[in-house]
């Protein structure tokens, strides 16, 4: 075998080996960069100040409880209104002048992004239901650009909203004064999947978290 023939054979092997290495590296890169599924949040994973003491140590099978509330149009909204939907939930009140206006503006931005997506909705619960009557919610909805088919603002029995906040959405604090069912809402937005599980918590006042929430909605849709 001549030196030239040997070199050609070696060169062909080198080309083959280089291509094989590139393929292996690409496979490893793709495996490492596959996004993991979003976590399924349980009460034990959340700050204790946001969780009712009865369920603080629950580590699996947590879902949003059944509910029946009234929206800005005086219509009854239940868990069936969100059946087979991904949705973003929060807690607010219409007379809040601190974080609520920012949160509501961000919910409005999310509404714009999901306006043509039939799989995704929004749900905002009043933490002052005795003040936030249907008429008050309707006024607020008009001011904030709420589109009824995408976003429900709900009021109702204070005990039920309190229990939803503390036992289902893991989203509000007590007022610290010992008054039964009084609550201090947080800036949290919660992402709920089609199985009524919490898949993410986001700072509703932080634009970066809103972008992350929108990305996570797309990830959830890819899961289902």
How many CB atoms are closer than 10 A to CB 87? 23
Q: Which residue matches tokens 């029995």?
A: 157
Burial class (CB in 10 A: 0-12, 13-18, 19+), 198: buried
Residue 96 marked as a ligand binder: yes
Phi, psi values for residue 155, rounded to 5°: -130, 175
- Cα 171 from chain centre: 12
Burial class (CB in 10 A: 0-12, 13-18, 19+), 26: exposed
Q: Which residues are annotated as a binding site?
A: 96, 100, 185
Q: Which residues are annotated as a binding site for Cu cation?
A: 96, 100, 185
């Amino acid at each position: 075998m001549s030196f030239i023939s040997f070199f050609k054979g070696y060169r062909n092997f080198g080309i083959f080996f280089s291509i094989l290495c590139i393929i292996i590296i690409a496979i490893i890169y793709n495996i490492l960069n596959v996004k993991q599924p979003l976590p399924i949040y349980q009460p034990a994973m959340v700050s204790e100040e946001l969780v009712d003491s009865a369920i603080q140590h629950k580590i699996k099978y947590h879902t949003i409880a059944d509910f029946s509330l009234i929206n800005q149009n005086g219509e009854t909204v239940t868990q069936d209104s969100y059946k087979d939907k991904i949705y973003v939930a929060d807690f607010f009140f219409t007379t809040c002048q601190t974080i609520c206006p920012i949160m509501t503006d961000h919910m409005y931005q999310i509404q714009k992004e999901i306006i043509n997506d039939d799989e995704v909705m929004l749900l905002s619960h009043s933490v002052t239901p005795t003040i936030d009557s249907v008429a008050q919610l309707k006024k607020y909805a008009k001011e904030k650009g709420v589109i009824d088919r995408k976003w429900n603002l709900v009021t109702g029995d204070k005990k039920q909203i309190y229990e939803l906040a503390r036992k289902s959405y893991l989203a509000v604090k007590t007022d610290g004064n010992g008054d039964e069912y009084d609550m201090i809402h947080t800036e949290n937005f919660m992402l709920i999947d089609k199985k009524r599980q919490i898949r993410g918590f986001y700072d509703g006042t932080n634009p970066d978290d809103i972008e992350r929430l929108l990305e996570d909605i797309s990830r959830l849709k890819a899961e289902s």
